[in-house]
Homo-oligomer: A and B are copies of this chain.
Amino acid sequence: MTMMIELIEETWFLARELVSDEYDQALARLAREVPMTIHEYPSGTPVWTWTVPEKWTCHEAYLETLDGRRIIDRADHPLHVVSYSLPFEGVVGRDELLRHLHTHPEDPSLIPFVFKYYQRDWGLCLPQNVLDLLDEEEYRVVIRTTFEPGTLKVGEVVVPGELEESFMLAAHLCHPAMVNDDLTGVVVGLDVMRALLAGPKPRYTYRFLILPETIGSVSYLSHHENLIPSMVGGLFLEMLGNDSGLALQQSFMPGSQTDKILVAALSGAAPDAFVGPYRTIINNDERQFNAPGVRVPMLSLSRVERPETLESMYRPYPEYHSSADTPAIVTSERLEAARDAVLEMLAAFDRNSYVVNHFKGEVFASGHGIWIDYRTNPEGHRNLFQIMERCDGSRTVADIALELGISFQAVWEIVTRFAEKNLVSFSPRPQPTDPDRPQAL
């Protein structure tokens, strides 16, 4: 079993474009780690309001002076060419050239990541420092790219559960020669699936999708419309290796059980994690899952520098969308911590149930060996009774956790003690036990 960081090292520098040989090569490498189904959608296939794009290949690209001095060469770094750039060959004047050159808006030493999937244009990317040296009148540009029919590929790893209802994990793989965004989400998701596959059969079915951003989700969903009604929740993964705290972005339906469970479980797994509303931390494939006609409550987990600011959406970490997004900025420890947090959230998801009381009144706690002394553990004592009084067949573990502002795990620990004493049982459906009574009026 290859470690996450090793998988990153093996595949990061590939030019993993939306539909491309190097994307396929990376996906094939990952498919050696877990059983994976690879769905293929041919170029030109209509997928809802979209169309699967052509395969794009860059055979060669460089910028040179008329006397043959190379300024930049795509052989050095895939980011030197705008993704899905048109081919172009010729001598251009300096002014025209500048209209086709792209630099990083903040750091003059970095090559930016620029893509023009749907604008027909050619372009090159380079550090501002290099651009500043361009003082000749004319330059030669060579961009030899081809557009041709191919197949967009979505890798799917499935852990079958007792139920057909599925939890959807997703990560995109289409960011060429970068690591934190997006390879880290992919390898964390993969490691999560390896752990689930090694464990006992879960209640829910878990599906992990590796795909090109947006168009991959649309392609998969539009070809699996029959599955959509059984997708009961989801989590998108991205940017999980950099030096920032974990940030959980809620779904479009923040009152969903999925939202409640993941929020309450993360507060137990990573108490310092930030939780923010939909579309306030980062935008990714969860948009397709939350969209009209799909409406899967998919949250998103990432590491973001200042998640509380909307500005951070455009620069979630300093190396974002640039040639500085390399293995040097991620660590195994942070990847593993993210993986463990995801596993705790999924464990909670799999466990969450209605808690049905077999008791009436307050339980004789000391008689049942579940007493917590308020003198030595006042918070535990308080939680014990506040959880007990919410075990009524109409609240789930996540409901109780959110009502009390404590973690899913803390509630779980108490209710399993109750269950051991046969004071409660768990049910997938509400079973209210409160007496049916007319309201006083």
Contacts and interface: CB of A to CB of B under 8 A. Distances in A.
A294 B49 contact: no
Interface in A363-388: 363-364, 366-368, 385-386, 388
- How many A residues touch the partner, as a band? 35 or more
B368 A49 contact: yes
The count of identical subunits is 3
Interface string A189-223: 00000000000000010000000001001100110
A288 interface: yes
A53 B392 CA distance: 27
Contact of A441 (B360, B363, B366, B428): B428
B48 A440 contact: no
A95 B406 CA distance: 41
A244 interface: no
Contacts of A349: 440
A361 B294 contact: yes
A221 B360 CA distance: 9
Contacts of A228: 435, 437
Contact of A354 (B225, B389, B441): B441
Which of A167, A232, A295, A428 has the most B CB atoms < 10 Å from its CB?
Answer: A295
A359 B292 contact: yes
Contacts of A290: 389
Given A49-B363, A288-B361, 13 more contacts: A49-B361, A49-B364, A119-B366, A222-B360, A228-B435, A231-B437, A232-B440, A233-B440, A257-B439, A257-B440, A291-B360, A291-B362, A292-B389
